[in-house]
């Protein structure tokens, strides 16, 4: 047996610097005590679900933390950590016999479950049915340094008593080191294959979140970690006063700061909704987390940048946020990894994220257990709640139902009645509605609808440019925006849409913000990606017709504060293009055209108090409510089926046998399924990236419609997940299919 061949007198858990198993566990247990204080509400809930006394839950958590790395008492791991061999037997698996014998089995609804054992076996690799299946016939004693493992195991009772000053709540058993590992695995998994208790998911995620939290913090010795923040209202006020952008809170901000419980806030763009939401969150977080969700990466990045004055307490999470973290940490891989884990799992006191990051746990995406647990008592802000289609709104609804102990704030400038009524009915407790009556008479836009194509506006655009105006032009498709942009190549003009690689897109955003700040003319031609993205303020908007909620968002890019004159027309709306129906649907566009021709065929100063009527005309309440509820029913059924395939608690994997599930796991309804690719022209640059900067590959990714670009797609020949694509690409125009 391996333990007879070679042995070690000192059992290491970490290297560089060296840290023994005892030292590592001591650091982890320091966070156990903190975790119990942080998670009093969750522990009370688990007690109610399981019938366990608080002391027994405490003992189970202690055993999980104390024993999670006992499998490192193996020759293979000790040789690996000392760089004497390149691989090692999974130590998490070798911990099973110890954790099983250290705590009593947990019976829930007549089913025996082992949440502590699953947490230990999956604290490096997410749990799924086939985890460690390749080690079927080996017993633990083949790999363990048995005398060291038993010595450490038998100290658990004394260690518990030293910390809690009371007796360990379980009878310590003798670990089964002779049975095959497959026998132990089946003992844990078999009950779940045939019977899954109602609260299995919550119990499982509680224990997994616990072990990940204390292990990550203990491993990083992050003793200055803050679970929550205090008095952010005061900090926000001080920051705004320093920037001279605040003299006093406005009406909606004062009301939000005094609102206790769920909130629905309707206010025009640029009137301080973000600050109002943060004041509300400060009031409602109850010493837990604040989670601020937005529809796009651009808006998420912008808010994250605004909140940087709060220091290290703010995390950021979206598809490419790893690149932001890497740049801030100057490519120090250890610090990058620590911050990515905390941000991606919503561990930071405040997390700014795209809404997808809180919806993906529906599909048991990686770290779903931690995200759900960290959101379970949070103050959650959903900004631009109107911006989602029926499918995503249905997922958001399912998410809201999942967190009955969390508090929610919903923000919008253009909220259809069917969404207002739905959100109001969704919560058992009364939801407070705040409307910005202070600015209802505000008129920021003088609008004219012109029943012709936007091509007829070229000369007028150029004239405004010559007058030094900042002109924004929004078209409904990338193809049309690119074509129209070519009319202004000899002017100070920028093309902005979704098909630029990440680093070019960021550069474009910087150029747009710089042009917006300068006192001279500029032209930006964009698609709807600009609607809820950059905090920009143009003089005049030329746009194709779009559904009224999208159109109102576009108006928000012009005269945002309402301080510019509306004596002249500053918004010109033109008819939709030939293929725009593929983006918005023909009925929606025809309805929008009817509204525009009725309201804006003659120049009209639009008041904020008129917007709600336009939205209700665009989305008739009875029809839209019925369509949404139908979609919600379908999404609910799909999620039930999806979860059942994963036993409620398995983590979704990127494997061939999960292809059907992977296709279903999405947070947006795809009209045009997209794929993230790297333009082939950047292949050499990507291949030359240093190992320490592999994250930089994100800079070269662009999402493109699969149907248009499929002929150019060429997956990388190595084992990476990279996909290259042969296409026309340039910084000026972006990606175009060959």
**3 state SS for 70-139:** HHHCEHHHHHHHCCCCCCCCCHHHHCHHHHHHHCCCEEECCEEECHHHHHHHCCCCCCCCCCCHHHCCCC
Q: Which one of 439, 472, 502 terminates a domain? A: 439
The residue with greater pLDDT, 664 or 135, is 664
Buried b (16+ CB within 10 A) or exposed e, 671-703: eeebebbbbeebbeebeeeeeeeebbbbbbbbe
Alpha-carbon distance of 352 to 626, in angstroms, equals 32
Q: Is it the case that residue 570 has pLDDT exceeding 80?
A: yes
Question: Residue 594 falls within a domain, yes or no?
Answer: yes
Q: Is it the case that residue 438 has pLDDT exceeding 90?
A: no
Are residues 428 and 449 located together in one domain of the fold?
no
Question: Residue 633 falls within a domain, yes or no?
Answer: no
Question: Residue 641 falls within a domain, yes or no?
Answer: no
> What pLDDT shows up at residue 425?
93
Q: Return all residues near 169 (Cβ < 8 A) that are at least 6 apart.
A: 55, 56, 58, 59
> 1 falls in which pLDDT band (50, 70, 90)?
very low
Are residues 405 and 353 located together in one domain of the fold?
yes
- Identify the three-state secondary structure at position 703: strand
Are residues 341 and 407 located together in one domain of the fold?
yes
- The stretch 439-462 carries a mean pLDDT of 93
DSSP string of 267-294, one letter each residue: --TTSSHHHHHHHHHHHH-TTS-EEEEE
CATH number at residue 152: 1.10.3210
In tens, the pLDDT along 636-695 reads: 999 999 999 999 999 998 664 556 676 678 888 877 778 899 999 999 999 888 888 888
| Sheet with 713-715, side-by-side order of all strands | 702-705, 674-679, 723-725, 713-715
In the block, tokens 């620590």 appear at 338
Q: Is it the case that residue 17 has pLDDT exceeding 90?
A: no
Query: Would you state the structure tokens that stand for residue 379, as one six-digit string?
Result: 């103050």
Are residues 385 and 481 located together in one domain of the fold?
no
Domain that holds residue 293: 232-439
In tens, the pLDDT along 24-37 reads: 999 999 999 999 99
Candidates 190, 203, 196; CA nearest to 115 is 203
Are residues 327 and 390 located together in one domain of the fold?
yes
**H-helix or E-strand containing 435?**
strand 432-435
How many angstroms separate the Cα of 465 from the Cα of each of 460, 470, 483, 513? 9, 7, 19, 17
Are residues 238 and 338 located together in one domain of the fold?
yes
Are residues 435 and 447 located together in one domain of the fold?
no
Are residues 417 and 451 located together in one domain of the fold?
no
Q: Give the single-character DSSP code of 680.
A: G
Question: Residue 665 falls within a domain, yes or no?
Answer: no
Alpha-carbon distance of 623 to 541, in angstroms, equals 31
Are residues 147 and 44 located together in one domain of the fold?
yes
Q: Which one of 219, 252, 271 terminates a domain? A: 219
Buried b (16+ CB within 10 A) or exposed e, 124-135: eebbbeebbeeb
> What pLDDT shows up at residue 3?
45
> What pLDDT shows up at residue 658?
58
- Assessment of whether the complete model's pTM goes beyond 0.75: yes
- What mean pLDDT value characterizes the chain? 91
Alpha-carbon distance of 185 to 90, in angstroms, equals 14
Are residues 181 and 289 located together in one domain of the fold?
no
Query: Would you state the structure tokens that stand for residue 347, as one six-digit string?
Result: 């561990």
Q: Domain count for the chain, please give it.
A: 4
Angle at which helices 321-328 and 333-344 pack, to 10 degrees?
Answer: 140
> 4 falls in which pLDDT band (50, 70, 90)?
very low
How many angstroms separate the Cα of 521 from the Cα of each of 81, 227, 527? 62, 47, 20
Q: Are 345 and 337 in contact (CB under 8 A)?
A: no
In the block, tokens 């083949």 appear at 142
Question: Residue 239 falls within a domain, yes or no?
Answer: yes
Are residues 463 and 390 located together in one domain of the fold?
no
Alpha-carbon distance of 583 to 545, in angstroms, equals 12
> 719 falls in which pLDDT band (50, 70, 90)?
low
- The stretch 286-313 carries a mean pLDDT of 92
Alpha-carbon distance of 36 to 46, in angstroms, equals 12
């Amino acid at each position: 047996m391996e333990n007879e061949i070679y042995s070690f007198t000192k059992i290491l858990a970490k290297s560089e610097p060296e840290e023994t198993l005892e030292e590592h566990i001591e650091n982890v247990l320091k966070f156990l005590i903190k975790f119990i204080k942080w998670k009093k509400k969750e522990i009370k809930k688990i007690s109610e679900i399981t019938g366990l006394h608080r002391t027994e839950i405490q003992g189970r958590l202690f055993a999980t933390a104390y024993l999670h790395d006992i499998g490192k008492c193996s020759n293979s791991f000790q040789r690996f950590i000392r760089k004497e061999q390149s691989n090692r037997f999974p130590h998490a698996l070798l911990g099973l016999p110890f954790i099983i014998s250290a705590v009593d089995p947990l019976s829930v609804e007549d089913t025996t479950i082992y949440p502590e054992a699953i947490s230990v076996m999956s604290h490096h690799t997410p749990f799924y049915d086939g985890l460690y299946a390749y080690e079927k016939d080996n017993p633990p004693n083949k790999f363990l340094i048995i005398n060291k493992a038993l010595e450490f195991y038998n100290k658990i009772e004394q260690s518990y008593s030293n910390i809690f000053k009371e007796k360990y709540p379980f009878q310590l058993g003798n670990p089964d080191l002779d049975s095959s590992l497959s026998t132990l695995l089946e003992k844990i998994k078999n009950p779940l294959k045939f019977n899954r208790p109602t609260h299995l998911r919550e119990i499982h995620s509680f224990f997994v979140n616990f072990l990940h939290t204390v292990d990550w913090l203990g491993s990083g010795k992050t003793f200055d970690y803050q679970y929550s923040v205090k008095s952010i209202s005061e900090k926000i006020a001080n920051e705004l006063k320093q920037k001279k952008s605040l003299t006093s809170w406005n009406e909606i901000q004062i009301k939000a700061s005094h609102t206790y419980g769920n909130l629905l806030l309707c206010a025009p763009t640029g009137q301080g909704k973000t600050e109002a939401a943060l004041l509300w969150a400060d009031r409602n977080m109850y010493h837990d987390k604040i989670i601020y969700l937005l529809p796009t990466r651009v808006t998420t990045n912008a808010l994250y940048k605004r909140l940087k004055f709060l220091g290290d307490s703010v995390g950021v999470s979206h598809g490419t946020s790893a690149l932001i973290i890497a740049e801030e940490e100057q490519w120090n891989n250890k610090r990058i990894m620590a911050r990515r884990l905390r941000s991606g799992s919503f561990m930071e006191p405040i997390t700014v994220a795209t809404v997808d990051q809180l919806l993906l746990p529906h599909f048991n995406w990686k770290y779903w257990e931690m995200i759900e647990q960290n959101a379970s008592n949070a103050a959650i802000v959903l900004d631009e709640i109107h911006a989602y289609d029926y499918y995503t709104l249905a997922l958001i609804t399912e998410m809201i139902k999942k967190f009955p102990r969390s508090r929610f704030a919903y923000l919008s400038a253009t909220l259809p009645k069917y969404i207002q009524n739905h959100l109001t009915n969704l919560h058992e407790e009364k939801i407070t509605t705040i409307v910005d009556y202070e600015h209802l008479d505000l008129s920021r836009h003088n609008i004219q609808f012109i029943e012709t194509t936007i091509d007829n506006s070229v000369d007028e655009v150029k004239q405004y440019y010559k007058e030094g105006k900042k002109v924004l032009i929004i078209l409904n498709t990338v193809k049309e925006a690119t074509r129209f942009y070519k009319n202004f190549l000899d002017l100070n003009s920028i093309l902005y849409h979704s098909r630029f690689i990440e680093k070019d897109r960021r550069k474009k955003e910087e150029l747009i913000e710089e042009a917006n700040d300068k006192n001279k003319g500029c032209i930006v031609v964009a698609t709807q990606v600009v609607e809820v993205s950059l905090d920009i303020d143009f003089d005049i908007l030329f746009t194709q017709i779009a559904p009224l909620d999208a159109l109102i968002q576009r108006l928000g890019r012009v005269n945002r504060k309402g301080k510019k004159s509306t004596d002249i027309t500053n918004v010109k709306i033109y008819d939709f293009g030939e293929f725009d129906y593929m983006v918005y649907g023909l009925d929606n566009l025809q309805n929008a055209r009817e509204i525009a021709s009725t309201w804006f065929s003659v120049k009209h100063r639009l008041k904020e108090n008129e917007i709600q009527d336009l939205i209700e005309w665009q989305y008739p309440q009875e029809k839209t409510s019925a369509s949404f509820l139908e979609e919600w029913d379908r999404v609910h059924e799909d999620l039930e089926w999806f979860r059942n395939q994963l036993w409620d608690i398995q983590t979704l994997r990127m494997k061939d046998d999960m292809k059907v599930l992977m296709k279903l796991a999405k947070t947006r309804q795809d009209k045009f399924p997209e794929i993230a690719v790297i333009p082939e022209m950047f292949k050499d640059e990507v291949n030359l990236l240093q190992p320490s900067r592999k994250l930089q590959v994100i800079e070269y990714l662009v999402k493109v419609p699969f149907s248009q670009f499929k002929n150019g797609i060429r997956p990388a020949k190595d084992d990476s997940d990279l996909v290259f694509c042969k296409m026309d690409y340039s910084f000026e125009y972006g990606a175009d299919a060959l």
